[in-house]
Amino acid sequence: MEKVVITIARQYGSGGRTIGQMLAKELGIHYYDKELLKLASEESGIHERLFAGADEKLRNSPLLRITKKIYQGQLIPPASEGFTSTENLFNYQAKVIKELAEEESCIIIGRCGDYVLRDYDNVLSVFVHAPEDYCIEQARQKLSMPDKEIRKFILKTDKARAEYYKHYTGREWTDARNYDLCLDSSKLGMERCMDEIKAYMEVRFR
């Protein structure tokens, strides 16, 4: 198979983003994270600021926990009232993710990429996780705050990611059945996690 797309979902502090960056460099392919917002903005003509703000809007919405807008693939046309709704902004991000999967080998971070591309044969979905102590230790390198506050930040961030995922997929974010490969970065280290993904690719896409 010529094109392979790797989607990576990750707990905060597990190093999933770093693993994705390392793997992209190793394989010589593109890495997409927040770049997806810019591409979705260009695709839709909607200002990038609205895409960035949509995540924050959902994160602070009490309705997020009890409502679902499971992604079906339809785009709301520009003339419609819901054109700039959070659901349609997600739809455009998903459209970009699908286009990338059809055009090139790449790494997609977050954005429910595993669900959006669940019917694609050229996709390998990965979930990177780690125990709380390890995540706090890793986060300590980026966050200038006491460990107690870091723990709260991690819990809040992962809760938001889980709710975002369930809102658009109807699935549980940490359910191993959603992914091809689940890796504990605290046991393997980032280099070995990258090696495990490459080894899985060799077997899966031989």
**Residue 11 to residue 154: CA distance in whole angstroms:** 8
- Kindly compute the dihedral angle of the four CA atoms of residues 29, 34, 35, 39, in this order, to the nearest 10 degrees: 130
Q: Which two tokens stand for residue 151?
A: 């723990």
Q: What is each CA distance from 19 to 10, 86, 206, in whole angstroms?
A: 10, 29, 22
Q: 0.95 exceeded by the pTM?
A: no
Beta bridge partners of 106: 5, 30
Token representation of residue 147: 């460990």
Q: Write down the pLDDT at residue 177.
A: 97
Q: Say what the pLDDT of residue 81 is.
A: 81
3-state SS track over 10-77: ECCCCCHHHHHHHHHHHHCCEEECCHHHHHHHHHHCCCHHHHHHHHHHHHCCHHHHCCCCCCCCCCCC
> How many Cβ atoms are within 10 Å of 199's Cβ, its own excluded?
11
* Residues spanned by the domain of 41: 5-204
**Per-residue pLDDT at 78:** 87
Our count of domains for the chain comes to 1
Structure tokens at 172: 């549980």
- pLDDT averaged per 10 residues in sequence order, the chain, 206 residues: 90 96 96 91 87 68 65 82 86 94 96 96 97 96 92 94 91 96 97 96 90
Output the domain CATH number for residue 168.
3.40.50.300
Tokens of 179: 């992914």
pLDDT of 76: 79
What is the DSSP secondary structure assignment for residue 158, as one 8-state letter?
H
Q: Which residues contact 34 (CB under 8 A, 6 or more apart)?
A: none
Instruction: Report helix, strand or coil for 79.
Output: coil
Query: Which of 11, 1, 24, 59 has the alpha carbon at shortest distance from 197?
Result: 24
Reported as half-sphere exposure (CB side, CA atoms, 13 A), residue 95 has a value of 17
Answer yes or no: are the C-beta atoms of 168 and 69 closer than 8 Å.
Answer: yes
